Amino acid sequence: MLNRIKAIAIKEMRQLKRDKRMLYVLFIFPIFLLVIFGYAINFDVHHIKIVIFDQDKSIDSRNYVNSLTSSDYFDIVGYIHTDKDIKRVLDTKKAQCVVVFPRDMSRKLYSKQSAKVQVLIDGVDANTASLILNYMNSATAAYSQKLQGNILASIGRKAYIPLDIHPAFWFNPDLDSTVFLIPGLIVMILIITAVVSISLSIVREKERGTIEQINVSPLTSLELLIGKTVPYTIISLLVGALILVSGHFLFGITFKGNLFLLFFSTLLFLFAALNLGIIVSSIANTQQVAFQIATLVSMLPSMLLSGFIFPIESMPVVVQILTNVTPAKFYLIILRGILLKGVGVESFWPQLVYLMIFSLVLLSLSALINKKSKIA
């Protein structure tokens, strides 16, 4: 049995060595995806375009504007002078936010009254609008605290804060969304690479007619599947290592966990993904169809249902149950725990059990389909 599995694996490796296009897909395409998605998908909002409607025209309003532009979150793109201009700049997307200073802002400040500054935000993109509001609230609170200290100092009193919060962010101190997204990208790229590669390999056997020789050989379905899976498992592990190294140099992702746990969990995940590719190959009869189906069943679930972009806890209960159809969900939890937090197996052992079950179920299903159809 081992000799037959070894023979299939060696045959597959030799065939891969001759197929330059497949080698390109396996090694160059994942890095291309990492670069494109890594730089394109980012939840951080910088250089927010702001227009100022300053009716007060005082040193305080100018200081407030200067405090906004002291970081790269806000860019002042212009000033307006009438109420009618507010709608125009928001309609034409000249600005994402309009800050309106009331006429009596300075007078109220120095008469110990609260001055209200109006912030009008383009709310078409709800996520961006919420971020802009949070940034504005944070910048206003910082400036207000500084102004309060100056006013109290001018009358010889010190500011008193009964309860002060000192937040500390673990694992991602800079709150960089790229750090959160890169593990998801790795999961998506690995599952696409694994499913596409093995499905194209088996379907290529169909197209060339060599599958008939395999069918009449003494190989069992399980031996054939394992022999086909082993080379692509090794290659996928190399691709995963290449992606990790690229993620470190391109995005500053640092490895914090146990290397053996990462290797073992990745092996389980790839085994499940490769068996999913075998199931795809039993459906498709051409490489073009196999590529389309493999991309569909690997990319969409890993992007939408794994928690890569959208939090699973925020989904309806029915959709939360549906997320269990992809092994990417379980592997992503493990990968984020190992890469970003450096946690041990006690934090994600249920996900490892799920991956084992997933792998065994898919392997059994692949063997059953292969036994009935002989991948024909």
What is the distance between the terminal CA atoms of the chain, rounded to a whole angstrom? 23
pLDDT band at 333 (very low <50, low <70, confident <90, very high): very high
SS3 for 91? helix
Region of residue 121 (phi > 0: left; psi between -120 and 50: alpha; otherwise: beta): beta
- pTM for the full model? 0.77
Is 48-154 assigned to CATH 3.40.1710.10? yes
Rg over CA atoms, the chain = 28
**Which one is predicted more confidently, 21 or 243?**
243
Task: Say what the alpha-carbon torsion angle 226, 227, 231, 234 is, to the nearest 10 degrees.
Answer: 30
pLDDT of 121-167, one tens digit each? Answer: 998 888 888 888 988 888 888 888 777 776 666 666 666 666 666 77
Query: For 87-96, 167-176, 298-307, which range has the lowest pLDDT when averaged over its residues?
Result: 167-176
Query: For 178-182, 216-220, 357-361, which range has the lowest pLDDT when averaged over its residues?
Result: 216-220
**Which one is predicted more confidently, 356 or 282?**
356
**Looking up tokens 């949070």, which residue turns up?**
134
Partners of 201 in beta bridges = none
Q: Distance (Å, rounded) from C-alpha 216 to C-alpha 66?
A: 79
Q: Are 335 and 181 in contact (CB under 8 A)?
A: no
pLDDT band at 32 (very low <50, low <70, confident <90, very high): confident
What is the average pLDDT value for the chain, to the nearest integer?
83
Q: Distance (Å, rounded) from C-alpha 278 to C-alpha 281?
A: 5
Residue-range domain boundaries for the chain: 2-42+176-373, 48-154
Q: Distance (Å, rounded) from C-alpha 210 to C-alpha 14?
A: 15
pLDDT of 228-266, one tens digit each? Answer: 788 888 888 888 888 888 888 888 777 788 888 999 999
Which of 141, 176, 143, 197 has the alpha carbon at shortest distance from 45? 176
Helices (H), the chain: 2-18, 20-40, 59-68, 84-91, 105-110, 126-154, 177-208, 211-215, 221-251, 259-283, 287-304, 317-322, 327-336, 349-373
Which of 107, 255, 275, 114 has the alpha carbon at shortest distance from 191? 275
